[in-house]
Amino acid sequence: MTLPKAVEIREVGPRDGFQNEPERIDTDDKVRLINALASAGFRRIEVASFVRPDVIPQLSDGVDVLRRIEVPDDVRLMVLIPNSKGLDNALRVRETFHDAAIFVSASETHNRKNVNRTVADTMADNDVMAKRIVAEGLGCAAVIATSFGCPYEGKVDLDRVLGLAERFAEAGATEIGFGDTTGMANPAYAGEFFAAALERLPGVEVTAHFHNTRGQGLANAYAALQAGCTSFESSFGELGGCPVPPGSTGNIATEDLISMFHEMGVDTGIDLPAVISAAQEAQTVLGRKLTSHCLVAGPIDWHAN
């Protein structure tokens, strides 16, 4: 079996992770943690979302965070855009980020519960937004939630998901992320899914975004890797989850994903101890223990007695 020599990992904790925290995180703490992640070697970080402040108060300081963080010039910052109004607001601070992500749920029920719109209405808005994003010279990414299953509808048809992906690509998205929003994927299907996605989407960067809700996140990432996927998203400290259905716990932990890749000889370009250090700092900020495996056990030391 031949694995890719290297992969890209986008750290999504500052957006996807923080938004699920019930206690308000101080802006200074967010800035410090993002700066630490950038120093660890990440070249892609999702920082903010332009949702209404009353919907996700935790992210209401997103513009301040974008303006205050200090990251190397080669770090690409991404923001999540829920609708055209959000894009209007984001473009007012166009100079603070590089990539904009638009999104939809593959299942009708989850989409309605998440953004209070039908999939058809959401995609019509996404078509318009994608063209505007590209016209602004920004990177356009698209995210399809519940790609591997919906907690309300069960299985989601693969052709439906890839049809949405093809529509995003036609509208101008150059990266498409497939989200296992509530941890319903399994390794066998993950491998099948990404093999099909890579075949159906030539020229598009295909990204895997797994959650560890049922403990299969790393196994699913490995299956995607075997299928040829080289782009992943994860959250330091295993922060995050889906705010819609109860019990939908966090993303796969970035430090665990990096550790797995490095032990298999797959390069990430990221300093694992530095990521663990950032997760430790997040524990202090949040005032609670985080439970990623590398945070608890530490990285593997082959020189230890």
99: which strand partners? 78, 139
- pLDDT of the residue at 245: 65
Structural domain spans, the chain: 8-297
Mean pLDDT of all residues in 106-128: 97
3-state secondary structure of 143: strand
**Dihedral sign, CA of 163, 165, 168, 169?**
negative
Residue matched to tokens 């209007």: 88
3-state secondary structure of 206: strand
Which strand (E) or helix (H) includes residue 262? helix 254-263
- DSSP secondary structure code for residue 24 in this structure: P
The percentage of the chain sitting over the pLDDT mark of 70, rounded to a whole number, equals: 97
Distances (CA, A) of 105 to 46, 166, 251: 19, 14, 17
Count CB-CB contacts under 10 A for residue 38.
Answer: 20
For the annotated catalytic residues, the residue numbers are 242
CATH code: domain 8-297 is 3.20.20.70
Is pLDDT above 80 for 304? no
Mean confidence (pLDDT) of the chain = 95
- pLDDT of the residue at 24: 95
Is pLDDT above 70 for 247? no
The percentage of the chain sitting over the pLDDT mark of 90, rounded to a whole number, equals: 92
Structure-model confidence comparison of residues 249 and 7, the more confident one: 7
**What pLDDT, in 10s, does the model give residues 6-33?**
999 999 999 999 998 989 999 999 999 9
Rounded distance, CA 173 to CA 175, Å? 6
**Residue 244: which pLDDT band, with cuts at 50, 70 and 90?**
low
- pLDDT of the residue at 305: 60
The answer for residues whose C-beta is within 8 angstroms of residue 127's C-beta and 6 or more apart is 167, 171
Rounded distance, CA 192 to CA 215, Å? 19
CA angle at 272 for the pair 39 and 193, rounded to the nearest 5°: 105
**What pLDDT, in 10s, does the model give residues 130-189?**
999 999 999 999 999 999 999 999 999 999 999 999 999 999 999 999 999 999 999 999
Residue 119 one-letter amino acid: V
Is pLDDT above 80 for 5? yes
Rounded distance, CA 163 to CA 157, Å? 10
**What pLDDT, in 10s, does the model give residues 66-99?**
999 999 999 999 999 999 999 999 999 999 999 9
- pLDDT of the residue at 248: 63
Dmax (CA) of the chain: 60
